[in-house]
């Protein structure tokens, strides 16, 4: 699907999703926990020690994949990552969705502007995410070159901010 089509489709979905998420109060973990569109992410976080981390001091910027984003993974991949043998892979994948610091939409757009149309942020896993503006949307590119549209509206949390993304981000 072309990026412009994804932006239009995600924009409609994101507006519906963000309405309920943006009104949520609490820490980053509680924002994810309360979202109907992030039950897969919530269950995945519960299988690791991330609940404690994301409920902690922060601040964190979390790029939260939707249930539909997890459904795009190869069949059985998430279940395999949840096994004890692959728990480190799961932890690395979750860490790749987290940036230390609070980057609201204004901060992201400012960083992109200062970077001449592109901003790079280091994730907790040590990887990089690249951000650019396409139309009115912010698009991020992961380590594998996959594009993901982030929601136009960020959900404020007491210890950071949560964005809705339409793909599971991959480091490499």
pTM score: 0.83
Q: Taking the domain 3-165, which CATH number applies?
A: 2.30.180.10
Q: Which two tokens stand for residue 77?
A: 């991949």
Cα radius of gyration rounded to whole Å, the chain? 15
Percent of the residues in the chain that have a pLDDT greater than 70, as a whole number: 84
Q: Hey, where are the domains in the chain?
A: 3-165
What does DSSP say about strands 160-165 and 137-141: parallel, antiparallel, or unpaired? Answer: unpaired
pLDDT at 31 over 50: yes
At 100 the pLDDT is: 95
Q: Which two tokens stand for residue 81?
A: 């990552």
Q: What is the DSSP letter of 74?
A: P
- Quickly tell me which residue has 């592109």 as its tokens: 118
130-143 mean pLDDT:
95
pLDDT by residue (tens digit) across 55-101? Answer: 888 899 999 999 999 999 999 999 888 888 888 888 899 999 999 99
16-24 contacts: CB < 8 A, separation 24 or more?
17/66, 17/151, 17/164, 18/151, 18/152, 18/153, 18/155, 18/164, 21/155, 21/162, 21/164, 22/153, 22/154, 22/155, 22/156, 24/155, 24/157
H-type alpha helices, the chain: 3-22, 28-34, 39-46, 50-54, 67-71, 77-81, 87-95, 105-114
- Quickly tell me which residue has 């009115």 as its tokens: 136
């Amino acid at each position: 699907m072309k990026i412009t089509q994804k932006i239009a489709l995600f924009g409609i979905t994101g507006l519906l999703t963000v309405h309920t998420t943006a009104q949520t109060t609490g820490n980053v973990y509680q924002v994810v926990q309360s979202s109907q569109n992030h039950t897969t992410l919530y269950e995945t976080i519960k299988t690791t020690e991330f609940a404690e981390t994301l409920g902690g001091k922060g601040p964190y910027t979390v790029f939260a994949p939707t249930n539909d984003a997890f459904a795009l993974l190869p069949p059985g991949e998430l279940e395999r990552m949840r096994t004890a043998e692959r728990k480190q892979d799961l932890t690395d994948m979750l860490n790749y969705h987290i940036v230390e610091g609070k980057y609201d939409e204004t901060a992201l757009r400012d960083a992109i502007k200062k970077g001449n149309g592109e901003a790079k942020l280091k994730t907790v896993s040590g990887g990089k995410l690249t951000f650019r503006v396409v139309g009115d949307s912010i698009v991020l590119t992961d380590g594998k070159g996959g594009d993901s549209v982030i929601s136009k509206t960020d959900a404020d949390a007491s210890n950071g901010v949560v964005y809705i993304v339409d793909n599971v981000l991959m480091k490499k």
